[in-house]
Amino acid sequence: MDRAGKTVLVAVSDIFFYTKVRDALLPRGYQLERVRALDEVTAKAATLHPAALILNMNDLALDAFQVLERLKAEAGLKKIPVLAFANHEEVETWKRAKELGVSKIVSRNELSARTRELIEELIKGERPAARG
């Protein structure tokens, strides 16, 4: 797998949570690029051609819905798999994220517990239909 195949954009402003993601993925050879602004997400996505994007739907510093809208509007970016996470009780957030084309959405706890497995499933295209 080339560098692009192992690059993951991480749109998470919480440094402690980013560290958890980093600790789960770096030992497996993934390259992480942390992004904290809408323009930064699209610019890095266009230049790095990442294997996936991890997106915090509840991040107040980044409008995740705008990120999804912009990614899905650009031909070269709309195929990037997006692993989103949100508070499990925010049903409307989950629904809207799915409508905007996230590949998979999970709770923050599930992402924290299964980061590597979720990213690898996403990159390989293994998306169980019955799961969130």
Please list the ranges in the chain whose pLDDT falls under 50.
Answer: 1-3, 127-132
Burial class from Cβ neighbours inside 10 Å (0-12, 13-18, 19+) for residue 38 reads middle
What predicted TM-score, i.e. pTM, was given to this entire model?
0.90
Q: The domain 4-124: what is its CATH number?
A: 3.40.50.2300
- Dump pLDDT digits (tens) for 70-84: 999 998 899 999 999
Predicted pLDDT at 60: 83
Backbone angles phi, psi at 20, to 5 degrees: -60, -45
Predicted pLDDT at 126: 52
